[in-house]
Structure 1
Amino acid sequence: MTKADIIERVSDELGGLPKKEAADTVELVLELIKATLASGENVKLPGFGNFVVRHKTTRRGRNPKTGEEMVLEARRVVTFKPSHRLKAAVNT
């Protein structure tokens, strides 16, 4: 499913909401989630799951192509943990 598919479904589910308004709504929700994660906060969507910002420390690694050792800088990554309801829905 793509963002365009989601916009189409939102438009249909809300009784023929114009696609422009549905697109604006979907885009706004995604931007809010992105801004929240960028600020270092987690996003919890009950019944769906949690987007968690994790901090990775500086560590040693290697280039798989050359085998050369290198230092991987500290960074933040986003992980997703699905809720039990989402897991159950996917597995039925």
Structure 2
Amino acid sequence: MNKAELVDAVASKTGASKAKTAEMLDALMGAVKDALTNQDSVQLIGFGTFAVSERAAREGRNPATGKTIKIDAKKVVKFKVGKALADTVAGVKPAKAAAKPAAPKAKKK
């Protein structure tokens, strides 16, 4: 699904116009980018968490020549999927909460 298809899907579910939905999606992506740029994480309960992680410098190999190369340290964005989304994708149905027992009736005097 690309951005245009996502806008179409959200607009049809919410009844909002495609233009307004695209504007909201752009604002959401901008807010996430700003937070990650400031080293903050973005947690959407049930969906997942976006966070910045530091990847250390390391040595690698050029696959064409086999020569050792230096790979610089860098910051990367990681996404950890939330339980609700993971369960939905896996086809796991959410467990229903156990019914609470009724409170005992007050005795009349």
Tell me the TM-score normalised to structure 1 length: 0.89
Pairs within 5 Å for 1:1-92: 1-15=1-15, 17-92=16-91
What is the alpha-carbon distance in structure 2 between the residues aligned to residue 66 and residue 40 of structure 1? 37
Alignment RMSD: 1.2
Distance 2:80 2:74 in 1: 19
Q: How many residue pairs get matched?
A: 91
Shift of 1:43: 1.2
Counterpart CA distance in 2 for 1:39 and 1:70 is 30
Q: Distance in 1 between matches of 2:56 and 2:2?
A: 33
Q: Judging by fraction of residues, say which structure has more strand.
A: 1
C-alpha distance after superposition, 1:2-57 (max 9, x if no partner): 11111112222222x22111110111101111221122221111010111211011
C-alpha distance in 2 between matches for 1:40 and 1:65: 36
The amino acid across from 1:18 in the alignment is S
CA distance in 2, matches of 1:89, 1:14: 21
Q: Distance in 2 between matches of 1:39 and 1:64?
A: 35
Q: Determine the C-alpha separation between the residues in 2 that align with 1:85 and 1:10.
A: 19
> Which is helix-richer, 1 or 2?
1
TM, length-normalised to structure 2: 0.76
Structure 1: gaps of 5 or more residues: none
**Percentage identity across aligned positions?**
33
Structure-1 separation of matches of 2:62 and 2:5: 38
Show structure 1 runs of 4+ deviating over 2 A. Answer: none
